Structure 1
Amino acid sequence: MPAHFIIALASFSFSFFMPLLVVGILGGLFQAATQIREASLLVVAKLCTIFLIVIIFGPKIFDVLTIYAKEIFRMIPNAIRS
């Protein structure tokens, strides 16, 4: 797999998981500070974050995955011949 695809997939996962990590840490700090142990607070916050990520980064993610899929399909004949 070429290095540029690895970098593109790493940027995809970074743009997707880092906001969720931040929301999880902030939600945990909020729960610890207020002593509220309600799990649904974090679930709702993470679902809203995922929704915003898909709206903001959706076109970029789709472009990266489309290029990756095209490259994989382009490599199939070479893999069959080998």
Structure 2
Amino acid sequence: MIFATNSASLMASVYALNGEHHLFWMKLCSKFNRFCTQIGGALLCGYVAFLLMAVVSFLSAYSLFRHYSPKTFLVLK
């Protein structure tokens, strides 16, 4: 969910950076430089949070499933 939200925000920020000629949307970054800098930082923090969450989830699942026997299904060692 976090990855999907960040990807949608990235697409919206690409429109802010380049504009959309067919929809007559102008470029925002040429007028609001601080806005684009803050959006870039927020997207970077969002993707770092996603990666950290994935690592923590992997470590949690590994520490949980290492207690189970590899030969029989859902039986503790």
- TM-score, normalized by length of structure 2? 0.45
| Structure having greater relative contact order (Cα 8 Å, sep ≥ 6) | 1
- TM-score, normalized by length of structure 1? 0.43
Identify the structure with the greater helix proportion: 1
